[in-house]
Amino acid sequence: MTIIKQMKKQAIVLTVCLPALGAFLSGCGNVGTAPDSMKTVEAAEHPLEKTAWLVDWQWKAGTENFQGMTNGLASVQMFAAYFDESDNLLFTDEFKKGLPKVQEIARKSSLVHVDLTIVNDQKRQDGSDLQKEPTIVTRLMATLESRARHINQIMEALSTYHFHGVEIDYERIDEKDWDNMMAFINELYTRLQEQEKTLRIVLEPRTPIESLSLPKGPVYVMMAYNLYGTQSGPGPKADRSFIMELAARMKTVPGEKVIALAAGGFDWSESGEVKAVTEEQAAGLAKSSVEVPRRDNASGSIHFQYVDEKKQKHTVWYADETTLKTWANVISSEGYHNLALWRLGGLSRESVRFMNE
């Protein structure tokens, strides 16, 4: 199938060449050294096609990264639609400011599409947020009428903001809601096909995909990250075995499948505070590292410790370009051809270059 035909089918199309990184996974050293096998770039047997998310709250940094990778991306997913307290779609002022710039960059590349990502977060009038709220999904999916109302709002948003397609990122879905959720996917996909729009569905690792009969047609995206994060102690966002396990589970999912990776990392303080950091932020903190930052052999991630101005010790794990290439090589070796990156903004020049290949 030609690149153009693939683009028309699913809007995930650019091919890239990846380095052979298998030997890297068998060794561990400081961040300044790499095995000789990593110094020769070779084409992967099955090149990966790439997409990436761009978030409304960091659209300026996100568009800076986006501008540097229009040759390597097939689409960007604009992470921008939430819900108000009446379960209506809500778009932030930041989204409305950033979207024209995102679309301008995409227009300059004839191969990059802009899609809308909808997440089950609720923004309240008092300024507070409910993130990944399952009761929103319960209400939206409850009846044929509630699903139709939601689908009508989605179709209106695609038309108003000129999106190429939509991505549904509803997480922490209650087990009792999955039958209704699958009916919704079918109904939404049918409406989108009528308008020649695309549909992606994001699945989290906890999704019981083995027991679900997910509808054929949409592209399914598995979140292969946050192995460690705010819910745990220090560690990498993903490692080789974690990605391989999810890749194996995804074999039961129909149609075209995408494995999603995450850039950046987390900063764990001995006080108990955990916060996300971008690749650039982590690299800046590494300059104050107690010892030379090291690369973990199981994940390819960099880790180090530093002491802040309050004498609190911190542990940081993060992904850089080498980490992303390592994970991408695992995806390819498991027989997958599509990679999605969470997220643009705060990437190093090297990571931008990798995504632009």
Q: Per-residue pLDDT tens for 231-264?
A: 999 999 999 999 999 999 999 999 999 999 999 9
In 3-state terms, the chain is what percent helix, strand and coil (to 5)? 40, 25, 35
The pair of structure tokens assigned to 333 is 């070796």
| 3-state SS class at 30 | strand
User: What is the pLDDT, as a whole number, of residue 30?
Assistant: 56
User: What is the pLDDT, as a whole number, of residue 31?
Assistant: 63
Give CA–CA dist 317/169, Å, rounded: 26
| 3-state SS class at 203 | strand
Containing 130, the helix (H) or strand (E) segment is strand 129-130
Beta strands in 225-347 (DSSP E): 257-262, 264-269, 274-277, 294-295, 302-307, 313-319, 338-342
Give CA–CA dist 134/153, Å, rounded: 19
Residue 144: count other Cβ atoms within 10 Å of its Cβ.
Answer: 11
Give CA–CA dist 225/238, Å, rounded: 5
Strands 294-295 and 302-307: antiparallel
* Amino acid identity, position 179: D
Q: Which of 55, 105, 59, 102 is nearest to 80 (CA)?
A: 55
Give CA–CA dist 289/307, Å, rounded: 8
* Amino acid identity, position 104: E
User: What is the pLDDT, as a whole number, of residue 47?
Assistant: 77
Has this prediction a pTM greater than 0.85?
Answer: yes
Which tens digit of pLDDT belongs to each residue from 14-66?
Answer: 333 333 333 333 334 456 444 333 332 333 456 799 999 999 999 999 999 99
Consecutive 10-residue averages of pLDDT for the chain (357 residues): 36 33 39 39 64 98 98 97 98 98 95 97 96 98 98 98 98 98 98 98 98 98 97 97 98 97 98 97 97 98 97 98 98 97 98 97
8 Å CB contact between 39 and 28: no
Containing 155, the helix (H) or strand (E) segment is helix 144-161
DSSP string, 90-113: EE-HHHHHHHHHHHHHHHHSTT-E
Give CA–CA dist 65/351, Å, rounded: 9
User: What is the pLDDT, as a whole number, of residue 110?
Assistant: 83
